[in-house]
Structure 1
Amino acid sequence: MRVVLGILGALVVGGIFSSVLRTLVIPRPTRSGFTRAVQTTVRWAFQMPADRFTSAEVKDRVLAPAASVAILMTLVGWLACFMIGYGLLEAAVSGLGATAALREAGSSMFTLGFASSEHADLTAIDFCAAATGPITIGLQIGYLPALYGAYQRRETEVTLLQARTGSPPWGPQILARYAQVGIIDSIGELFRGWERWSAEVSESHTTYPILIHFRSPKANRNWLVAMLAVMDAAALRLALNPSCPQAEVRMALRAGYVCLREIADVRGIPYDRDPSPDGPVSVTYEDFLQGLARMADQGYSAERTPEEAWPDFRGWRINYEAVAYRLAYDIDAVPAPWSGPRRTAEAIIVPDTPVDRRPVARS
């Protein structure tokens, strides 16, 4: 029986140690079953009441703490499992009862020192337990600045996009806004910035998957919806104005769907790696015409007719639409035009666009 307890204890300690390494230390996308199970359970506890509401603002308030609570509960789960694992090892080595073994393991792990025994063969286990508790807590504390630094860098660009195009962002509205203020020729700067942003998000959100569920400070903003809007704007620009400079636009579009696919790989979301350009998309031709009408109202000049541009737009969008829609559904992003369905039936929020107040010339 003591041998079985020892094996179980070693497996628990080793497994949780592996989970800590995969989550906090190894700087590359690695999957920890324990971490994922804890965080999924916590998010489910928040998602269940959120699904009872149809208001995007109310759902955002309910879901906002979920990711932070998931991080805290992961730490609690690690410490609890370490204590159980060391308790099993101590029971196996010394023959202590379950209560006494857990008491000594907890006293050692949290360096409280209120429980000790006269068994010399427990010393090595006590020392290991005493090191494990502070190291795990220290690693978690060190993990938070990297996590929140990546979050702040992500949200800076999302906020800038709101100032430029409105919120929630929408692909046609981006081009319409740039045309409205007469800076459409400088839109390449936007796409260059979002190419780099996509690369940073790809790196941070695959290394720290919990970032996917960190919500924006405002209910009508969301990193995924912003990314989808920029990609749609790029696809529209390529389809409507083929003679304009394409390097920045195409690189931003490619960086966007590569980012989405890498996040999908980490989350185990299946997708077609080589979709047919002639395949169907959820955005209909009528939706496409509505977007073009919005752009034309603000003075956007297109080289192609809608009939000529539609096949190209559809061919670009099919590369990222399915993955973006699935992620938007999973994280319950703010409902926005051309961003797919949500977990509950919600009205699409029409973008709130900033209005320029220009001085009137006086005679």
Structure 2
Amino acid sequence: MYHMLWLLLRILVFLLGATSVLAALLSAIRTFVLPRSASDIFSRNVFIAVRMLFELRKRRADTYERRDQIMELYAPMSLLALLVVWLLCIQLGYTAMFWGLTDGSLYQAFKISGSSLFTLGLAFVDTFPAILLTFTEAAIGLLIVALLIAYLPAIYGSFSRREAAVTLLETRAGSPPSAVEIIKRYHHIGGLGDLTEVWRGWETWFAEIEESHTSLGSLPFFRSPQPQRSWITAAGTILDTASLINAAVDIPHDPQADLCIRAGYICLRYISRFFRMPFDPNLAPIDPISISRVEFDLACDELAADGVPMKRDRDQAWRDFAGWRVNYDTVLLALAELTDAPRAPWTSDRFLIHPPRLLARYRKIKCQGGRLRHFVDGRALLPGSLEPLR
């Protein structure tokens, strides 16, 4: 009876070890090989754990430049930590399998597993099942390291294409990027009526970002070469520019701007969904946004003072702008905080104006008629404003 229980225990440990190895291998395949976004518990938990450590260190930083310097290592360190976790799970899994298959001690099984995984040749058991495990463990270890090496060029290729557009935006939008600045500069060079190619180029950029930033889950956290640049503030600036021009600038309507906005908010929503960030996909044009009417009026006044032709009906222009902005407002701010983006107008500056961190974390409560209203500190927000109802 005792021998039977001991045999069952060894079989159970062997199966648990095989499960651990299989889980690590599938996680590596989802991360490195699968060409689509897929939820992976290993990657998610490792990135969260490393982020917690970086957040502790970041608290001591008193300037954004210092915070950016700290966070620049977050994505690379998380990838290396993920590799370590995979290798550890594989070694422990094979340790359990070697212990369940041989008569040696747990220490001997651990030694054989480590020797096989790192191809050291320090220890082995000369039986066919054990040799078979040794070969498979060595092959899996080499495979995961090779996948990581092959994964890095894909990351940096997508990173380079992303940053090329972000860098070019600085010549058009200034630093930090501003939608108002873009419109003023294009007005000065007489280009306001010829923005179709700009919208088309950024529509393509949004499509590429959606694919790369969900299939390569670490890519959103790779920071731009310059501290004041960020892919998310660039995205917000382009979307706000298109929304402002559609709503308030008195030039012929360009349908390509509509397509650019749609491509942008679909992209940001998919990325937010990949990171499990909540948002309401069924928003109405009258739902609240993080831009106040006062800010909108100040932007329009600045454009008008610079000679930009503006529409006369400011109230309708505000309603149109809010109707466009509401599609991407919540996800834009959420991703700006997630990536710790540099301060930029109407994007990452929202967290400094409104103390509750991450405006995307509104508590959404159903009101009469089943519609969702937004609440902060128990007070409802007016549609199109952050001013609470009194």
TM-score by length of structure 2 reads 0.85
Match 1:331 to one of 331, 339, 350: 339
Matched, 1:106 2:114: yes
Aligned match of 1:125:
133
Matched, 1:292 2:292: no
CA contact (8 A) 1:221 1:334 kept: yes
Aligned-pair identity in percent equals 36
Shift of 1:342: 6.8
What CA RMSD, in Å, does the superposition of the two structures yield over aligned residues?
1.8
Aligned match of 1:228:
236
The one-letter code of the counterpart of 1:330 is L
Match 1:41 to one of 26, 46, 49: 49
Aligned match of 1:23:
31
Match 2:329 to one of 298, 311, 321: 321
The one-letter code of the counterpart of 2:115 is S
Shift of 1:333: 0.7
Q: Which deviates more, 314-323 or 47-56?
A: 47-56
* Aligned counterparts of 1:12 and 1:283: Cα–Cα separation in 2: 49
Matched, 1:143 2:151: yes
SS at match of 1:185: coil
SS at match of 2:193: helix
* Aligned counterparts of 1:134 and 1:196: Cα–Cα separation in 2: 37
CA contact (8 A) 1:43 1:67 kept: no
* Aligned counterparts of 2:128 and 2:39: Cα–Cα separation in 1: 38
The one-letter code of the counterpart of 1:286 is V
Deviations 1:19-40 (Å, cap 9, x if unpaired)? 0111011111111101111111
CA contact (8 A) 2:14 2:101 kept: yes
The one-letter code of the counterpart of 1:4 is L
Shift of 1:344: 7.2
Residues 1:342 and 1:295: Cα distance change in structure 2 (over 3 Å): closer
CA contact (8 A) 1:199 1:259 kept: yes
The one-letter code of the counterpart of 1:244 is P
Aligned match of 1:154:
162
Matched, 1:259 2:267: yes
Deviations 1:229-270 (Å, cap 9, x if unpaired)? 100011111112475132210011000000001001111111
Deviations 1:83-141 (Å, cap 9, x if unpaired)? 11111111100132221111111111111212122344301101101101111100110
CA contact (8 A) 1:173 1:294 kept: no
CA contact (8 A) 2:172 2:181 kept: no
TM-score by length of structure 1 reads 0.91
Matched, 1:213 2:221: yes
Shift of 1:161: 0.3
Residues 1:86 and 1:265: Cα distance change in structure 2 (over 3 Å): same
Q: Which runs of 4+ in 1 moved over 6 A?
A: 342-347
Matched, 1:6 2:26: no
Residues 1:345 and 1:53: Cα distance change in structure 2 (over 3 Å): farther
Shift of 1:343: 6.8
* Aligned counterparts of 1:318 and 1:175: Cα–Cα separation in 2: 21
Residues 1:64 and 1:346: Cα distance change in structure 2 (over 3 Å): farther
Length, aligned pairs only:
347
The one-letter code of the counterpart of 2:263 is A
Deviations 1:287-310 (Å, cap 9, x if unpaired)? 001211232233211233422310
The one-letter code of the counterpart of 1:174 is I
Higher relative contact order (CA 8 A, sep 6+): 1
For structure 1, the 5+ residue unaligned runs are 348-363
For structure 2, the 5+ residue unaligned runs are 1-8, 356-390
* Aligned counterparts of 2:194 and 2:241: Cα–Cα separation in 1: 14
Matched, 1:165 2:165: no
SS at match of 2:125: coil
